[in-house]
Structure 1
Amino acid sequence: MAEPIWGDWGPKLMNKAHWVVLTLSGGRLLNKPFGMPLVELHTVGRKSGLPRSCYLTTPVHDDQRIVLVASKGGDDRHPDWYRNLVASPDAELVLDGERLRVHARTATPDEKAELWPQVVKAYRGYANYQKRTTRDIPLVICELV
């Protein structure tokens, strides 16, 4: 796959713009992109050891787990937040204004087979992202601790 025109800066700028809109609107605007709940993920940088955060959506969630999709828009590389979670799986998520401690893990093949249809039902774009890449897009299960 060709490198996007904006490279890795496009998603970073979009994330920053999302933060500005959420902050200025008091969380009223852009809080359910594509109809999915928005989460703010807080991780530790695998190289820097510094706190990192980003906004993601959760197509599947319940009172025990929150599922994230490491799609990176169909890029051939895993998103940085996913690589950070693999290196340091204990993280925090903010969902509906509540800060939650989680332990993240990549879904097993059986779990992914069960969850993927639900993910695509929540947002068909994920199926298109998978078609864009030869990389198997991981699903991340964040279990509440």
Structure 2
Amino acid sequence: MAEKRRSRAAPLPPRWFVVTFWHGHRLLLRLTGGRVGLWRPKPGGWGALWLTTTGRRSGRRRRVVVGYLEDDDDLVTMAMNGWGASEPAWWLNLQAHPEAVVWTREGRRRVLAHRATGVERDRLWARWGEVDENLEGYAARRPHETAVVVLSPRP
């Protein structure tokens, strides 16, 4: 497994700051209709997309901003919840209803989500590690393995 529990936890900004930042980012996206706040991954970096899931209990549409990498036609993100201990609601929603919609700089696309496991997870985790040198330290803050989520195109 690529994610090591022995890593020393990396420092993070205060939780209130992380939550406020993401709420502000989501508000910016809403106000601009997605024209500002989404970006493609740059070499050595990640991008931002808007993910719409179906609520596992309510059945209502839920939107969230997540960071992603491209892996051929797939988009790859991590269910990290700002490196907090709990699983993000969007990931719980995708486990119940894996069909979703993403908005990127290129526009809207329908996707089917799955959790990467085994060799696929190790490879994708290593790619995230190339983008974020503190990945292992951040992951060490969580009490369980961080899911690597693959969003594959669907017709």
TM-score between both structures, scaled by the size of structure 2: 0.76
Residue 89, structure 1, aligned to residue 98, structure 2 = yes
Q: For 1:46, give the aligned amino acid.
A: R
Which position in structure 2 is the counterpart of 1:108? 117
State how far apart, in whole Å, the 2-side matches of 1:83 and 1:126 are.
Answer: 22
Q: Percent of aligned pairs with the same residue?
A: 28
Q: Which has the higher helix share?
A: 1
Tell me, in whole angstroms, the C-alpha distance in 1 between the residues paired with 2:24 and 2:135: 22
**Where in structure 2 are the equivalents of 1:1-145 lying within 5 Å?**
6=16, 11=19, 13-22=20-29, 23-24=31-32, 27-28=35-36, 31=39, 35-58=45-68, 60-145=69-154
Distance 2:26 2:54 in 1: 19
For structure 2, list consecutive stretches of 5 or more residues without a partner in the other structure: 1-13
The 3-state SS of whatever aligns with 1:77 is coil
Q: Which runs of 5+ in 1 are unaligned?
A: none
Would the aligned equivalents of 1:73 and 1:129 in 2 still touch at CA under 8 Å? no
Change in Cα spacing, 1:33 to 1:143, as seen in structure 2 (3 Å) is closer
Count matched residues. 138
CA distance in 2, matches of 1:44, 1:96: 22
